[in-house]
Amino acid sequence: MARVLGRIRLSREKKRSTSVARQKQYIEDWATSEGHTVIGWAIDINTSGAVSPFKTPEFGNWLNNRSYEFDIIACWKMDRLSRRTVHSYALMSWCKDNGKLVKATNDEIDPMSRVGELLWFILAWLGEGELEAIQDRALGTYQHLVSVGRWRGGKVPYGYRAVRADKGYCLEIDEEAAEILRDMVARIIAGQSTNSVIDDLNERRIHSPGDRQKYNNNLNPTPGEPLQQLTGVRWSLSPTLRMLRSRRMLGQWETQGNLVRDDDGMPLQIAEPIVARDDWYALQERLKTNSRKAPNRVDGNALLGVAFCGKCEHQLYANTGRGRKKLYRCGSRMRGRDQACGELSFSADELEAIVGEYFLERVGHIEVVSKRFVQGTNHSEELAQRKDAMATLLHDLTGMTSAAGKAILMEQIGALDERIATLESLPNSDPGWVSEGTGETYAEYWERLEERERTAMLRETGVRALIKRVDGNQVCALVLPADLEARVAAGPRGNTLEP
């Protein structure tokens, strides 16, 4: 009597219970008829035959860690072990080295004999060909669905929903989620940090992308359901940044982070865009800028990146003095006493109030200007590619002897020549930021901002506050960036020093 390990593998879940039960029955009937005992099962569901037996979850665990518990590996058919020739050979070698037998209950093959071993490898070779054919058909189906704008299944991008169409599904804009996404884009372009936008979404209990998909799948038909009663997944930074940096909101398809292109090299459009192309490029520029910015500190350094020492122009850092009093100190102190400029500490409460007061006194009457990024149009890369393709076609034409082949090449050359002429006639423009008035003054804008948003706005504006003691008093010299200084009209300037 020998100990039998039953091996069952299914590559698809369809009719899973029936298939598992049937394979178990075959193996148990054979074991009983031979007087053996089934001591365990290695059942792998949704596991491709292309995976090495030693790397499958269940079977691999038996082979690698529990080989001492069984004497025979019994399966329904030989392809349940593997569909790759190299993997079949590796398994057979392992069985010989470890004294294990192999039995396929429904194949008239004895894989432990020389002839049976050869037949096993032939079956594995045929199965490998069938597996590659299946993969080719699946890939072809996937590429065709994407090329005709059909949704091939999977996780739906945020802002869209999958709807039934002719012979399948397509993506349409989910207006409620799309409006949230457009608002996020507009707020970040306007200067808000991604973290502040995420905090607001969570405070308002806006459905996260995962919850939104669950809602669209009618698993939760009640709008505004609290987050914890859905998946419990809140908005978080990393997945939100991936979503904002993806071209999927433009209705273009990406796979594994790579943009899918059509035969002409253009991005494959599978849905209507949620945001305008220029807004998407402006968002990318803003995200790059935000990643280089000083963080919005939570340690009390509200003027980080804004306040600098009036003596040595080192940045001021928040610190705590005696009695837990909040202070700002010159960064030169960090280099040691011998390199410190000697400027005393500044009271944080007074300094933060002074900077805000001076800023409004200087520019409060000036209109706030927003910047919109305009993606330039430059066709030089595509033009070079088309000309290179034209040279290749002309070379092929000289060596073509077939009349039919020449006709095809001439047709391709004609279409390519027409496209080159069009590209050469199109104007080129450089990308850049365009300034637009908002109709709101800095004083009005300041009034409706929260404290941390005011600091972020000062950093975004590029203001530098040089702080110095004069006759024992804290004095601020507010240095504006050149473009803002040029817009400041004549008027009261406040108490300022020459920087």
Please indicate whether residue 462 or residue 120 has the higher confidence score (pLDDT): 462
Domain 160-292 sits in CATH 2.60.120.10: no
Per the structure block, which two tokens stand in for 209? 């992308």
Q: What is the pLDDT of residue 37?
A: 92
Pairing of strands 3-10, 37-45: parallel
The mean per-residue pLDDT over the stretch 352-365 comes to 86
169 pLDDT exceeds 50? Answer: yes
The beta strands (E) that lie in 109-261 are given as 160-165, 168-173, 254-255, 258-259
pLDDT band, very low/low/confident/very high, at 14 (cuts 50, 70, 90): very low
Q: What is the pLDDT of residue 499?
A: 31
76 pLDDT exceeds 60? Answer: yes
- 3-state SS class at 182: helix
Q: What is the pLDDT of residue 296?
A: 46
pLDDT band, very low/low/confident/very high, at 437 (cuts 50, 70, 90): confident
CA atoms within 13 A on the CB side of 445: 26
Q: What is the pLDDT of residue 153?
A: 60
496 pLDDT exceeds 60? Answer: no
Q: What is the pLDDT of residue 154?
A: 67
The mean per-residue pLDDT over the stretch 144-164 comes to 68
Q: Topology of domain 3-139, per CATH?
A: Rossmann fold (3.40.50)
pLDDT band, very low/low/confident/very high, at 5 (cuts 50, 70, 90): very high
Q: What Å distances lie between residue 497 and 330, 349, 360, 466, CA to CA?
A: 18, 21, 17, 9
Listed in sequence order, the residues at least 6 apart from 279 whose beta carbon sits closer than 8 Å to its beta carbon are: 185, 186, 189
Q: What is the pLDDT of residue 295?
A: 46
The 10s digit of each residue's pLDDT in 39-65 is 999 998 877 777 888 988 899 999 999
The mean per-residue pLDDT over the stretch 172-189 comes to 89
324 pLDDT exceeds 80? Answer: no
Phi, psi of 374 (to 5 degrees): -110, 120
Which residue, among 305, 203, 215, 201, has the nearest Cα to 244 in the 3D structure?
201
Q: Residues of the chain with pLDDT > 90: what percent? A: 8
pLDDT band, very low/low/confident/very high, at 497 (cuts 50, 70, 90): very low
pLDDT band, very low/low/confident/very high, at 21 (cuts 50, 70, 90): confident
Q: Residues of the chain with pLDDT > 70: what percent? A: 72
19 pLDDT exceeds 70? Answer: yes
Phi, psi of 208 (to 5 degrees): -70, 165
Per the structure block, which two tokens stand in for 471? 């006759």
Q: What is the mean pLDDT of the chain?
A: 76
152 pLDDT exceeds 70? Answer: no
Q: What is the pLDDT of residue 74?
A: 92
Beta carbons within 10 angstroms of residue 94's beta carbon: 15
Q: What is the pLDDT of residue 362?
A: 85
Q: What Å distances lie between residue 19 and 25, 48, 62, CA to CA?
A: 10, 15, 21
Pairwise CA distance, residues 497 & 316, whole Å: 18
The mean per-residue pLDDT over the stretch 26-34 comes to 90
Q: What is the pLDDT of residue 85?
A: 77
90 pLDDT exceeds 60? Answer: yes
The mean per-residue pLDDT over the stretch 73-97 comes to 83
Which residue, among 36, 38, 22, 132, has the nearest Cα to 77 in the 3D structure?
22
pLDDT band, very low/low/confident/very high, at 132 (cuts 50, 70, 90): low
Q: What Å distances lie between residue 331 and 294, 321, 455, CA to CA?
A: 15, 15, 19
69 pLDDT exceeds 60? Answer: yes
CB 6 within 8 A of CB 74: yes
Residue found under tokens 């996020």? 184
CB 76 within 8 A of CB 83: no
